[in-house]
Structure 1
Amino acid sequence: MTAGKAVSADVAFVQSALGKVLAGVRAEGSASHRSIADYLMRNPMRGTALKIEEMAEGCQVSTATISRFARDIGFNSYGAMRSALAETLHTAMQPVEKLRSSIARRKASLSPGEASMEYARTNVSASHDAQSQQALDAVATKISRARTVYVLGLGMSSSLAAMLTLHLQPFCQHVVEMAAAGGTEVAAGQLVHIGRGDVLVVMSFPRYSCDAMRLAQFARSQRATVVTITDSPSAPMVPLADHALYASSAHGVLPSSAVAAVAVIESLVVSLMVSNKINVKKAARLTEVMADYMVGGRSASL
């Protein structure tokens, strides 16, 4: 497998048979079972090494609950579940290990800038493999029908939120960039009126913001639809979201790369723009209006 076709281990794990079982339990299981499934999805590597007592402590449940969880998802014992977890993770890691080996072999000949470009190319490819047009269309439909679209990104994600807001404004009834330069306090104030019929889009990438998660929880409590654009199905925002789009953000030096996130934002906006004839007309009208303000436009001759 070439670097361009490598899929992140997190995405591959969640798309595996065991990953789908865990995702189902995390979504619809009992409180204790959701806690265990969430722990395993966030920490699959650690789960392969923990004794049952350590797993119980990590999930804050009893060892009996861990054993019952293993049986409920089809294993004879906790040990059998742990072995299946290790096997699944090994399979998921193979493409990533191949990529790492490839980069390691080329390290001597790659400059830091070239290595960064390699990560960017791989992240875009991995995000392409993890995304479906159906997922993009579902989110585009929710956004196009929303009364108000709130867009949230804190820290490094704030620039992504600003980009999405700018793209959405011509096609949505009302778009609010929550944080802008004001941070969490301003974002919380913007969210006061959110409710049913509204959509909150949260950008969430390493390093993940706890404040973004708290604001998403508030939006859910007000019956708004929550969408996240994040890096992995095991990211902490996923359980809080009604819809998730994935943009791989791995990087050898930076905390996270935003290249794939920009690609996913553009894919979402394009899906929204072509989703109905009204938006196509809006795009044409926008182009016509903006022509007056562009270099070489009609106003240039005035």
Structure 2
Amino acid sequence: MTSGKSVPADVAFVQSALGKVLATVRAEGSASHRSIADYLMRNPMRGTALKIEEMADGCQVSTATISRFARDIGFASYGAMRSALAETLHTAMQPVEKLRTSIARRKEALSPGETSMEYARVNLAAAQDANSQQVLDMVARQISGARTVYVLGMGMSSSLAAMLALHLQPFCQHVVEMAGPGGAEVAAGHLVHIGRGDVLVALSFPRYSADTMRFAQFARDHKARVVAITDVPSAPMVALADQVLYASSAHGVLPSSGVATVAVIEALVVSLMVSSKANVKKAARLTEVIGEYLVNV
């Protein structure tokens, strides 16, 4: 984590030692342990308050399984695990609380437009902290090597998906922008031929579209890789994705802000463009093709 930048509490929790342990168990543990780890990663705040019987009910396992889970990840008891969860969350929430206090203090002095700009600044900083160049390069390689790249965004995310698809088209073998005037029905039609060797890039932000989750599950069932671009580690798309890029979308008025998403899209595309000499040649060829349509000034 880079000092001096604000990171969303959900991201900070996942990056913590306990968060990493839970992420490993969710990926590699037994079915019951994966269920518990997933529940805690999605509901860390709730996990600090639940009795063991309530936790067992929420995870649909026995209390004995909850106790065994706590011991297996290094705690003497369920109570000790719950205390560690609370301590980790407290540490993760500190920068968020500072941000909220700062915005609250400045609220009366800032106009609505200035406040919106402040949210944009914070979201951009959080996105920069949350996405390493290593992850960007990994996603870029998967996309550039795909047989077909499917790009999906429903509702307010559709315009962002269109932007990503437009940027990718010159550098990928085949790009399909799934969203269209027909909505989910058109998207489903595009997805019929998805399979092994393909990549689905799904953009999912509040308000989250249930159709996006269903299409991502369909892609996984048919052996395609799924890349999610979403706002926080607790977002529903995370569990369905092979790789995740985070774009914080917090806003005081709008359901979600797209500023950081545009930045992440551009960072991903640039990472892909400079990943090989072949892409440099493709960029030059694109310039030649569209050159006669541009206005010379």
For Structure 1 versus Structure 2, the TM-score category normalised by the shorter chain is: over 0.9
CA distance in 1, matches of 2:178, 2:24: 31
| Letter of the structure 1 residue corresponding to residue 62 of structure 2 | S
Q: TM-score, normalised by structure 2?
A: 0.97
Cα distance in 1, alignment partners of residues 240 and 228 from structure 2: 9
User: How far is 1:251 from its partner?
Assistant: 1.0
| Per-residue deviation, 1:31 | 1.6
What RMSD in Å do the two structures reach over aligned CA positions?
Answer: 1.5
> Does the 8 Å CA contact 1:250/1:257 hold for their aligned counterparts?
yes
State the 1:291 CA deviation.
Answer: 2.0
Give me the whole-angstrom Cα distance separating, in 1, the residues matched to 2:138 and 2:229. 13
Post-superposition offset of 1:3? 11
Asked if 1:249 corresponds to 2:249, the answer is: yes
SS of the residue corresponding to residue 226 of structure 1 reads strand
1:238 alignment counterpart: 238
SS in 2 for 1:5: coil
1:124 equivalent in structure 2 = 124
Q: Quick one: which amino acid aligns to residue 34 of structure 1?
A: R
CA contact (8 A) 1:139 1:243 kept: yes
Q: Which deviations, in whole Å up to 9, do the C-alpha atoms of 1:268-301 show, x marking residues without a partner?
A: 000111110110111122123222111227xxxx
1:180-237 deviation line (CA, Å, top 9, x unaligned): 2221111111111111111100001112222111111111111111111111122211
Match of 1:115 in 2: 115
Give the letter for the 1:144 counterpart. S
What is aligned with 1:17? 17
TM-score for both structures, normalised by structure 1: 0.95
User: Do 1:52 and 1:63's aligned partners in 2 also have CA atoms closer than 8 Å?
Assistant: yes
More moved, 51-60 vs 75-84:
51-60
Q: Which residue of the partner structure matches residue 136 of structure 1?
A: 136
Q: Which runs of 5+ in 2 are unaligned?
A: none
| Cα separation, 1, equivalents of 2:50 and 2:281 | 57
Task: Say whether the 8 Å CA contact 1:4–1:121 is kept in structure 2.
Answer: no
Aligned partners of 1:4 and 1:125 also within 8 Å: no
Alignment deviations for residues 41-70 of structure 1 (CA, whole Å, 9 cap, x no partner): 111111111111111122122211111111
Q: What is the match of residue 224 of structure 1? A: 224
Which range is displaced more, 206-215 or 196-205? 206-215
1:259 is displaced (CA, Å) by: 0.6
* Large movers: runs of 4+ above 2 Å: none
Report the residue type matching 2:64 in the other structure: A
In the alignment of these two chains, the number of paired residues is 296
Contact 1:230–1:246, Cα closer than 8 Å, also in 2: yes
How do 1:279-290 residues align onto structure 2 when only pairs under 5 Å count?
Answer: 279-290=279-290
Equivalent in the alignment of 2:87: 87
Bigger shift: 187-196 or 281-290? 281-290
Matches within 5 A, 1:1-302: 5-296=5-296
Report the residue type matching 1:240 in the other structure.
Answer: L
Same amino acid, percent of matched pairs: 82
Q: Deviations over 1:133-171 (max 9, x none)?
A: 110111111111111000011111111110100000111
The CA distance in 2 between the partners of 1:133 and 1:252, in whole Å, is 29
Structure 1 window deviating more from structure 2 (288-297 vs 88-97): it is: 288-297
